[in-house]
Amino acid sequence: METGTLYTTSLQRSRSSILPHLTFPAHQPDNAVLVETLLDRRADGDVAEAETVVEQLAAAPADDRLVIRDIWLLRLRALLAQAHSDEAAYPDYRDRYRDMARTLGFEGHIAWAEEMP
């Protein structure tokens, strides 16, 4: 089996087994890894599936004070806008993500936000 096929099969199995469970706040990084992997790979349906994950995350019940979800959502929405070449939405989400990362002092997010063109 070729490496690409093995990777695709592995990702499909992982997606189908974990996707229903990735709506809880503790799984924000898991959601991000899945979305970023889908957007990096860009196989048929990957961008749509990434959108579904982000929509599920946004719709999941959460404490209004849970800023970690909000910062992940801004990052993921920026990445989706970039994937769609949305020249209006991308800089808006990116800049809001940068501002939130700086305001909260989240060093990892600050670094990631600064890497976004």
The answer to whether residue 110 scores a pLDDT higher than 70 is: yes
Q: How crowded is residue 49: how many other Cβ atoms within 10 Å of its Cβ? A: 17
Q: Which pLDDT belongs to residue 24?
A: 46
The tens digit of pLDDT for each residue in 44-94 reads 999 999 999 999 988 887 776 688 889 999 999 999 999 999 999 999 999
pLDDT-derived band at 8, boundaries 50, 70, 90: low
CB proximity list for 117: less than 8 A, separation 6 or greater: none
CB 84 within 8 A of CB 55: no
Packing angle, helices 28-41 and 46-59, rounded to 10: 160
- For the cut 90, the answer to whether the pLDDT of residue 34 exceeds it is yes
Given a cut of 80, whether residue 33 has pLDDT beyond it is yes
The pLDDT value recorded for residue 84 is 95
How big is the CA angle at 110 (ends 109 and 115), to the nearest 5 degrees?
Answer: 95
Give SS3 for 95.
helix
